[in-house]
Chains A and B, each alone.
Chain A
């Protein structure tokens, strides 16, 4: 009888430790989410941000601002989106070295907040302010059912299933959105929102603020603003270099020597 009591007491103590551990981990998670502007409590008051109220999940949209993360401290470390489609085909989508911007939507099939966004995507390609290309990324088939994802996504918006991409972007939760400037080859904003309207508002604000169109930081010694013609020319050159596969930091941009042509240039007359 004493032995039974001891076993029961030990079991109760063990359960107590487990419950305490779970409560502590939940508190830490909640604190972390709050620090990111996300309130997971179902009765939380509506957010005062651009998106307004939520539907049982993310209450406060997080502004699209670049967020250094332990796995992605450098905003120019932007992996392209390679994986498989829900139908099992292979796909690779470039987000840097391209002329367009990309809005990457990280969604899961299980999160209730994602459901409303899936519904919008299934109806067609939604309007993205600024004209960015919209791509959905889910975890790979080891964590998501391709059939379920196919049913949710429809056929209008490209879907890439890849846990490597999910990890590469250090996605904290779903839904999560990352805005990548193709010409600048960098993340210019990321955050979350409960509805597609809220996402649109966040992106529209970022576009209006110029956040999605980063330009080179002026030198400290630069006293005059660039003319629009100079800015246009710089952007055109950046685009053409990117199209040729020459991205920021490419060693070809800083040759150590220049080989002079041996003969006359076309049209040149040498005496």
Chain B
């Protein structure tokens, strides 16, 4: 069930919802593609970093977001890493959440791929189950594809 849009592709594993979207820009605003994948339904009014969604994560749930920061930021210091990061359980931290939620943990990594700068953000529903939930997040990351700029 591979989906492709805005130069991004993902094949969500069974039981996952996924979406690749581009918010309509406001006046003078530039918006860029965002990819979301989660083991819970993706609510309509969620934020790019999962607000409105992470609150619904249960102890066995995972959320993954990939946010495009454009070509201008590619290869800058923050996005110097050129490899799509694989996640390990120890990367998840309760304080790495956009907003701390008891029991949950998050991770954020920056990298450049295909000439585009990206932020990877993931939240697991249970810090105590980081081992198994991290493996589920990596299932999704392993299916991500980024189309190179001009490619």
Which residues of A in the span 100-158 have a Cβ within 8 Å of any Cβ on B?
100, 133, 155-156, 158
Q: Does A89 contact B1, Cβ atoms closer than 8 Å?
A: no
Known interface pairs A89-B19, A90-B19. Does A97 touch B14 (Cβ–Cβ under 8 Å)?
Answer: yes
How many angstroms from the CA of A96 to the CA of B1 in the assembled complex?
Answer: 13
B4 at the interface (CB under 8 A from A): yes
A94 within 8 A of B: yes
Cβ B18 vs Cβ A91 within 8 A: yes
> What residues of chain A lie closer than 8 Å to B19, measured between beta carbons?
89-92
In this assembly, does B94 line the interface, its C-beta being within 8 Å of a C-beta of chain A?
no
Q: How far is the CB of B145 from chain A (nearest CB, A)?
A: 12
CB distance from A245 to the nearest CB of B (A): 5
Q: What's the dominant secondary structure at chain A's contact region?
A: loop
Q: Which residue of B lies closest to A182 (CB)?
A: B15
> A93 at the A/B interface (Cβ < 8 Å)?
yes
Q: Tell yes or no: B20 within 8 A of A by CB.
A: yes
Complex contacts, B60 vs chain A, CB 8 Å: 240, 243-244
Interface mask (B1-36 → A, CB under 8 Å = 1, otherwise 0): 101111000001111111111101000000000000
Taking the complex as formed, is B52 at the interface, i.e. its CB lies under 8 A from any CB of chain A?
Answer: no
* Residues on the A chain within 8 Å of B5, using CB: 84, 88-90
- Residues of B within 8 Å of A158, CB to CB, are 42, 44
A183 to B75, CA, bound (A): 44
CB of B39 within 8 Å of the partner chain: yes
Mark each residue of chain A from 224 to 245: 1 if its CB lies under 8 Å from any CB of chain B, else 0: 0000000000000000101111
Out of A90, A99, A245, name the residue touching B4 (CB < 8 Å). A90
**How many B residues, CB 8 Å from partner?**
27
Chain A residue contacts of B21, Cβ below 8 A: 85, 87, 89-91
Does the CB pair B12–A94 fall under 8 Å? yes
User: In angstroms, how far is the closest chain A Cβ from the Cβ of B54?
Assistant: 17
A204 → B minimal CB distance (Å): 21
Closest residue to A246 on the B side, CB-wise? Answer: B14
A87, A93, A96, A155: residue with the most chain B Cβ atoms closer than 10 Å: A93
Bound CA span A97–B60, Å? 13
Known A92-B12, A92-B19, A97-B14: A80·B1 in contact at CB below 8 Å? yes
Chain A CB within 8 A of B41 CB: yes
- Residues from chain B with a CB closer than 8 A to the CB of A174 are none
Complex Cα distance A158/B4, Å? 18
Q: Are A92 and B1 touching (Cβ within 8 A)? A: yes
A247-B15 Cα distance, complex, nearest whole Å: 10
Contacting pair A94 B20 (CB below 8 A): no
Shortest A91–chain B CB gap in Å is: 5
Which residues from chain A contact B22 at a C-beta distance below 8 Å?
89
In the assembled complex, which residues on chain A have CB atoms less than 8 Å from the CB atom of B13?
Answer: 245
4 further A-B pairs in the complex, CB-CB below 8 A; given A90-B4, A92-B17, A97-B14: A87-B24, A96-B15, A156-B44, A245-B139
Across the A-B interface, give the 8 residue pairs with the lowest CB-CB distance, nearest first: A97-B15, A90-B5, A89-B21, A90-B3, A97-B14, A90-B20, A92-B18, A243-B60
Q: List 11 A-B contacts (CB under 8 A).
A: A80-B14, A87-B24, A89-B22, A90-B6, A92-B19, A94-B12, A94-B15, A96-B15, A97-B14, A242-B15, A243-B15
Which A residues fall within an 8 A CB radius of B? Answer: 80, 82, 84-85, 87-94, 96-100, 133, 155-156, 158, 240, 242-245, 247
